[in-house]
Structure 1
Amino acid sequence: MTTVTSKATANTDAANAATNAITGLNPRTIFLFDALTCLAMGILLVAAAGVLSGLLGLPKNFIFMAGLALFPCAALMWFTSRAGTQEHPPAALSWLVIIGNVGWVIASILAIEVWFDATVLGMIFVAAQALVVVTLAVLEYRGLRK
């Protein structure tokens, strides 16, 4: 009986450690990661708008402008990761980033479902990046609640 209890406790401890590793990230780290991924996506979209347009079935100008829009977003996210107290960025900036991320996800869904006739690859690409963005928004929200 003791062995079963020990294994159950070890499994629970491992699960708790994994959860803390994911949700226990410092909010500043999450905002910084968001800024870096935003910058990388912006560079990709601006630099390869023509190629991506053909592959994704989305207009070149739409892809290019979306990429350009990501640069000031990345700057805001980076600033948010550096502002405020040692533990937490300012709540107002945090909410601005979170709401912006939710808006990006909504626009992504509209882009592939309403505005344009994306290819299958385009739908996968847009849905995948939207999934990353909504995950970051959730992690940022959880960090704000701590």
Structure 2
Amino acid sequence: MNTTTADTTTATTGPVTLKTALLLDAAVTGANGLAYVAGAAVLDSLLGPSPTHFVLIGAFLAVCATILAVTGTRRPIPRGWATFAAEVNVAWAIGSVAVVAFGWLDLTTTGEVWTLMQAALVAVFATLQLTALRRTP
């Protein structure tokens, strides 16, 4: 009984699993992508870029979310695809900072803050995924 209890406690309070990291990333990325597509006409005045930019970025994010969800539900999770997901997240975070730093896309101040907050969140997803990959045999 003690062994089962200890195993359950470790499993529920331990580090984030690769599956959890990928599926959480898929959910957030998918929701963001759908919001960009659905709200493109409104977001341009709030954040800066044109509605076309939001539709294109939203469509890209929807594709990424689908890949993340499919990867996260495979048994076993394909290491190559999981690594690729983490690498795309790293590139997205760096690219987001570059967009703000170099003034690309004519972001508003709110758009700059939003972009940097997203970069931070995406970096967290990359860190969770890379950490889980290192722990996964």
The bucket for the TM-score relative to the shorter chain is 0.7 to 0.9
Residue by residue, what CA displacement relative to the aligned partner does 1:81-138 show, whole Å, maximum 9, x if unpaired?
11232xxx22101111011111211222232232233111001111111111110000
- List alignment gaps of at least 5 residues for structure 1: 1-16
Pair 1:66-2:67 in alignment = no
Deviations 1:36-76 (A, max 9, x none): 00110001100111211111122221121100101110111
Q: 1:33-44, aligned counterparts within 5 Å?
A: 33-44=24-35
| Aligned alpha-carbon RMSD (Å) | 1.8
Amino acid at match of 1:105: A
Q: 1:92 aligns with which of 66, 69, 80?
A: 80
Q: Where do 5+ consecutive residues of structure 2 fail to align?
A: 1-8
Structure 2 residue 97 is the aligned partner of structure 1 residue 129: no
Task: Give % identity.
Answer: 29
Per the normalisation by structure 2, the TM-score is 0.83
Count, aligned residues = 124
Which residue number in structure 2 is paired with residue 101 of structure 1? 89
CA distance in 2, matches of 1:122, 1:24: 33
TM-score, normalization: structure 1?
0.78
- Relative to structure 1, the CA distance from residue 107 to residue 62 in structure 2 (aligned partners, 3 Å threshold; closer, same or farther) is farther
Whichever of the two has the greater Rg, that structure is 1
- Tell me the distance in 2 between the aligned counterparts of 1:136 and 1:55: 26
For residues 124 and 42 of structure 1, the distance between their equivalents in structure 2, rounded to whole angstroms, comes to 18
